Every structure is written in C-alpha cells, then in structure tokens.
Amino acid sequence: MEVKDLLTLVPPLVGLKGNLEMTLASRLSTAANTGQMDDPREQHGVISSNLALIQVQATVVGFLAPLAALLLGALSTGELDFEKVKLLCASSVITAFLAAFALGMLMVCIVIGARKLGVNPDNIATPIAASLGDLITLSILAFFSSFFYKHKAEQQSTSGLECSDTGTVSVSALGPAPYHPGSCLPPPIFNSMGDSQSSYSRYLTPLVCIGLMALTPVWVLIARKNPPIVKILKFGWFPIILAMVISSFGGLILNKTISKEQYKGMAIFTPIICGVGGNLVAIQTSRISTYLHMWSTPGVLPLWMKKFWPNPCSTFCTSEINSMSARVLLFLVIPGHLIFLYVIYLVEGHLVPNSKTFVVFYLLAGLIQVTILLYLAEVMVRLTWHQALDPDNHCIPYLTGLGDLLGTGLLALCFLISWLLSEAELDGILEPASGPP
C-alpha cells in the first residue's frame, strides 16, 4: 500500500475531530453557561450521555470515512484493493475511538474547571479541542496504521517462506514449499508457526473493527438516558456524515496531487490549513450559539439578527459582540500561519517550497478560507436557529467539512501557481542564455 492512500484519510479524520470533539466542547460550554451543569446529579447525566454519544458517532463515522475515501478513489482509478480497505478501516476506527475518548475526557475536565473558576468555557474548551485535536488524531493514526501495516507485511512474509536445498530460507509468492527431507528445519514445526502468525495477522484488522463496533449498543444505552442526546442520536447523523463526505473530497484532492512534483510538500501543509480554518470557525460558531441560547429561544431570532443573509460588512465591521469576535479570529490567521510556516521551515525546510511567492499565496489562501467560513458561520447559525435546531450540532460539522475542502483546494492552487511562476521565471532566465552571443 502506498503512503498516499493513508493520506486520503487525513482530511476526513481531522474533520471528524471538528465534527465531534469541538461539537462536544460547544455543547458542554453552552450547558455550563446556561446552568445545566450546576447540579451534580444533572452534571453527571449531561457528561456521561455526551461522552457516550461521541463514542457512537466516532465509531460509526470512523468506519464510514475510509470507505467513502476509498470509494471516491476507486471511482477515479477503477480499482479497489480489499487489503487496503481492511487496513484503513481498522486504522480509522481505532483512531476515531481513542481520539474521541481522550479529547472527550479532556473537554469535560476543562469545562468543569472553567466553570468553577468563573471563566467562559467557550473561550477555553473549543480552542483547546481545536489545538490538541489535530495532534492527537494524527499521532494515533500514524501509530496504529504503522502497527497494522507491519502485521500485514509479516503475514505476507510468513505465507511466502520456503526452504532451499542449501538450508537457507527464501520468500516465494506461491506460499510454503513442500517438505524435502534434509533440506532445513522440520517443516511441520516451521509451517505451524507460520500458519499461526499468518492467521493472527490476517484476522487482526477485522477483529479490531468488529470489537469496537460491538461496543456501540453499550454507548447507545448510556446516551439514551438524556432526552436531548436521544434527539441527536436519531436526527443528528446527516450533518456528520455529509461533512465526512465533503472532507473526503479534500482527501481525494490530496491523493491526486501528492505524487506530482509541483505539489511536493503539500501533505505537510494540509493538516495545518484545514485545522486552522476548521478550528477558528468552530470557535465562532460556538460563541454565536451560546449567545443565542442566552438571549433568545429556538426558532426566534433577535431583532438585530433577523436577516438570514447579512451584509458581510456587518459580519466583520460593526461593534456587535459577534462581529468583534469574528474580527479577532480573522486577525489571528496571518500570525498563526506565519508561526506554523517558521516551524515547518525549521523542521522540514528541504521538502517544502521556500519562495516568497508561495508564502504570500499561502497566507492569502488561509485568509480567504477563514473569511468565507466566518461569514458562512453567521449565515448558517441564523438559518438553523430559525428552524429551531441547535447550531452546536448542525453547523460545526458542515463548516469544518467545508473548511477541509476549501483549505485543500486553495492549498493545491497555491502550489500550482507557485510552481507555474517559478517555471516561467526559470524559462525567462534560460532563454537569453540560449540565444546568440
């Protein structure tokens, strides 16, 4: 399996973090700000049902994400390798499961601590979920995909070992050779060991998927104790699955460009631009949602938010509190990306473009991405609130999925434009040199 097949999972899984962990942080922050977690018994019910909910969502979507990514890839290439399906499904499911558990527990501790300290959890929980989500998700994905790939390689090697007349062991694609007396170690013992290792490696990835999926009914039973969570269990799947499909198109763009010379280094920048855009828009969505929960009732918009399609200037240029937070988040884009660029050039400078042209286009792409997402957040929150839907559950998945697609597409465009300009500049230098003296 080539590395680029695994990279196809990066945007959906990074987006899954936004769809689940940041949605959880936003729900818990809203619950804390509206007093739903002040009573210890009610607090325990809210926390346990929310944690169980994201385990259900993480397991199901973690199983569907690689299938969607591989299906999109198969439609473009015309072939589908079932060994890749097993490996990527196991890697994706266990990554989503463990990342949801670790980040979910962290979010609970942060929201409770912030509430006790008198700090608004919206200003702490969602940014921390955004910051640590990418790191934890990608670290777990790298570890377990390497582990499963190692066992896949061991399965292929043990199934192809044979003994030669000289007593050496070689690899054959046709499987173990028959026993020849005096050739080497007794084949019955050797083959039984090889068969047991091969069987273990062959069934490892399916067992991981089946085992984690078998826990889903347990999480459902726990989540059903909270009526609002039951509503999400029944009707909250469409935003998450559609967001996963949108993110998978970003993964398809990455899959198609990663092996081409003009896009060298794109895999390093993809999690950053997707993560920054998704994180900032999730923070803004959480703040607007909390604002509406505190000052209005579902289905009724405040007088100053009656327009479904507000003027972009009112989104960024007024003295209203949500407009001010949008400006602050927008001003964070350039400094944040410059810090990431500096770290990338220190660590992987030889693998990425180092021209000023690329840096300018990259920063411009990040600014365009976040501007579009912040405006869409304002529009989508108003529309969902008008329909008496919770923006915490319905807006963040769509916006993080769009952030992945926009980020990957704009990043590919940056690499292409930078490469075309460098080629044109190189041609301009070489053309006079090749002319008559």
Q: What is the DSSP string of 214-276?
A: HTHHHHHHHHTTSHHHHHHHHH-HHHHHHHHHHHHHHHHHHHHHTTSGGGTTHHHHHHHHHHH
- What is the Cα–Cα distance from 401 to 231, expressed in whole angstroms? 22
Report the distance separating Cα 121 and Cα 129, nearest Å.
Answer: 11
CA distances from residue 424 to 110, 161, 356, 403, 420 in whole angstroms, order as listed: 52, 53, 15, 31, 6
The answer to whether the beta carbons of residues 133 and 182 sit under 8 Å apart is no
Collect all residues with Cβ–Cβ distance below 8 Å to 143 and sequence separation of at least 6: none
Amino acid at 299: G
Where does 296-390 have alpha helices with state H?
Answer: 312-316, 321-331, 333-348, 356-386
**Strand, coil or helix: what is 81?**
coil
Of the candidates 58, 53, 70, the one whose C-alpha atom is nearest the C-alpha of residue 15 is 58
> What pLDDT is attached to residue 371?
94
Phi, psi of 39 (to 5 degrees): -80, 130
- 21 burial (CB, 10 Å; 0-12 / 13-18 / 19+) is buried
CA dist., res. 202 & res. 82, Å (int): 12
Q: How far apart are CA 67 and CA 148, in angstroms?
A: 17
- The number of CA neighbours under 13 Å toward the Cβ of 281 is 38
CA–CA distance, 382 with 379 (Å, rounded to integer)? 5
Q: What is the mean pLDDT of each run of 10 residues along the chain (437 residues)?
A: 58 67 80 79 86 89 78 66 76 87 87 82 72 77 82 62 42 43 47 50 80 91 87 82 79 78 84 84 85 83 78 84 89 92 84 85 94 92 87 84 89 90 72 54
Give residue 57's pLDDT. Answer: 87
CA 315, chain centre distance (Å): 27
Task: Evaluate whether 240 touches 17 at the Cβ level (below 8 Å).
Answer: no
* DSSP structure class, residue 437: -
Q: How far apart are CA 83 and CA 142, in angstroms?
A: 18
pLDDT attached to residue 247:
77
Phi-psi region of 120 (alpha: psi -120 to 50; beta: other; left: phi over 0): beta
In this structure, the number of other CB atoms found within 10 A of the CB of residue 49 comes to 21
